[in-house]
Structure 1
Amino acid sequence: MTSSRSILVSGAARGIGRATAELFLARGWRVGIYDVDPAAAAEAAAGRDRAVAGALDVRDAGQWRSVLREFCGDGRLDVLVNNAGVLSSGPFTEIDLDSHRRMVDVNVTGVVNGAAEGHRFLRSPGGLLLNLCSASSMYGQPTLATYGATKAAVRSLTEALDIEWQGEGIRVRSLVPLFVATEMVTRDGVRASSVASLGVRLTPEDVAAAAWRVVHERGVPLRGPHRAVGRQTKVLAAVSAVTPDWANRLVVGRLAR
């Protein structure tokens, strides 16, 4: 079965981005596979006549404009996935300032750029901006301080834009997984204390499947924009929503030991 629908994914050469691109390609969508590593993006798209690949450093708004013009032309875009992200874990003062700054630049500025430049292409009923968030956004995480802060910013931006853009027919959603078995976690998240406590139980394919469900979900009145991914995350989200801050702080502190 083929589809005339289109989706553009940032950070699509590996991990969650690639799994999402692969799933939508398999189901007949036209898919933009863009990444800061253009060779890896081209490899992911090779032999796929419905795939378009190219270079994208999400920190650069000009690159976003070029990529969107290349992929969309004068047409519309059904789904834009702000997936690109970076992680450095460990005690706050042991992470160099360049790494802190890079997380902010990629994880926050990159998402803002994608939303701002993608807006006009999504302006048609049913357009969806899908942001990759994280369970670390629920409460500040020791050894993930800056990363969690960037994801809290993504969470807030998602909430604001979902309200602001609803009159234009644009949905804004976030996916909120716990740790996912990607290179980012296995290589750069090894010093996150909560990884040892909670384990890594999600695969990129689990998150891609959640993205597919969000794209096709029916509207439910009064439902918020965030979608927890995985049983662990759903339990944590449900508990944190009804417990006081002091209790959430206690739980996070114990998980970080």
Structure 2
Amino acid sequence: MTQSIFISGAAQGIGAAIARLFYQKGYKVGIYDINAVQAQQLAEQLGSNAKAGLLDVANYEDWQNALAEFSTWAGELNILVNNAGILYSGDFEKTDIQAHHRTININVNGVLNGCHAALPYLKQASFARVINLSSASAIYGQADLISYSASKFAVRGITEGLDVEWQKYGIRVLDVMPLFVQTAMVKDMDAGTIQNMGVKLKAEDVAAQIYKSATAKDRVTLPTHHPVGFEAGVMYHLSRFSPQAVNRISNLFLSKKK
């Protein structure tokens, strides 16, 4: 049976790049997004092995309906990619509290909803894996990106916990941790970190890592976290060994606005 992948927030950006790559690799691809029209346009561009649908990731009932529809169409659900997310940047106190709450609702509750609703389908599949979109912002809390960074720390925690808990089902739960990616989400960002480090990754770079993580053999040595790009890799590995004071000082330096 042809394997399948279900991607949230797949109508554009990283999600669309994931959909294109996996389609090229012969997968049945689920392109689900709150922008159903744009999702359908991408599915039509790709071909008959792509299916699009409406999904507000903050709505659990939407997840139930979308996954039931997709699994019936695809035959089984093999890979779930929790990609949907939003970002607000700028001074914490100058960002509306509703924006902070919306970030948590979509970036965190969206992942919780997706994993919870997908488990019955993943348990029935011949092969099953979950890939969550975390971020290099989950390595150390980021100034000017407070709620986004916090949401990605939560995604990291969800990933680590479920990767252990779902071993009993033979399901690995992994994440990818890119730095800033050239998508609409980072346009006009008000954060010192992006000014100092720039935007070097493309959506296709993240998609390539997700494909690698999704298809890697399930060995004991297969890591849970997968930094994307040289800078994210350096930040991740250094943070594991350097003192907290050094991590704080380096982030103070990187967060200074020009």
Letter in 1 for 2:224: P
Distance 1:41 1:154 in 2: 24
1:114-138 CA distance string (max 9 Å, x none): 0000111111453111100000011
Where does residue 165 of structure 2 map in the other structure?
Answer: 164
Letter in 1 for 2:169: E
Which aligned pairs between 1:113-128 and structure 2 lie closer than 5 A?
A: 113-123=113-123, 124=125, 126-128=127-129
1:46-98 CA distance string (max 9 Å, x none): 14100000110000000000000100029431100000000000000010011
Q: Which structure 1 segments of 5+ residues have no match?
A: none
Secondary structure class of the residue paired with 2:187:
helix
CA contact (8 A) 1:125 1:168 kept: no
RMSD: 1.2
Where does residue 176 of structure 2 map in the other structure?
Answer: 175
* Count, aligned residues: 253
Where does residue 62 of structure 2 map in the other structure?
Answer: 63
Where does residue 153 of structure 2 map in the other structure?
Answer: 152
Where does residue 251 of structure 2 map in the other structure?
Answer: 252
Letter in 2 for 1:20: I
What TM-score results when the alignment is normalised by the length of structure 1? 0.96
CA contact (8 A) 1:131 1:154 kept: yes
Distance 1:95 1:63 in 2: 28
Q: Does 1:227 align with 2:226?
A: yes
Q: Does 1:51 align with 2:50?
A: yes
CA contact (8 A) 1:126 1:171 kept: no
Deviation at 1:221, TM superposition (A): 2.2
CA contact (8 A) 2:92 2:144 kept: yes
Distance 1:44 1:125 in 2: 28
Distance 1:224 1:213 in 2: 12
1:198-257 CA distance string (max 9 Å, x none): 110100000000011001112342443100111111111111111111111111111001
Distance 2:205 2:34 in 1: 23
Which aligned pairs between 1:91-106 and structure 2 lie closer than 5 A?
A: 91-106=91-106
Which of 17, 31, 34 does residue 33 from structure 1 map onto?
Answer: 31
Q: Which structure 2 segments of 5+ residues have no match?
A: none
Where does residue 142 of structure 1 map in the other structure?
Answer: 143
Aligned identity (percent) is 41
Secondary structure class of the residue paired with 1:100:
helix
Distance 1:202 1:125 in 2: 33
Q: Does 1:207 align with 2:206?
A: yes
Letter in 2 for 1:17: G
CA contact (8 A) 2:78 2:126 kept: no
Distance 2:120 2:159 in 1: 17
Where does residue 20 of structure 1 map in the other structure?
Answer: 18
Secondary structure class of the residue paired with 1:165:
helix
Distance 1:19 1:195 in 2: 22
Deviation at 1:197, TM superposition (A): 0.9
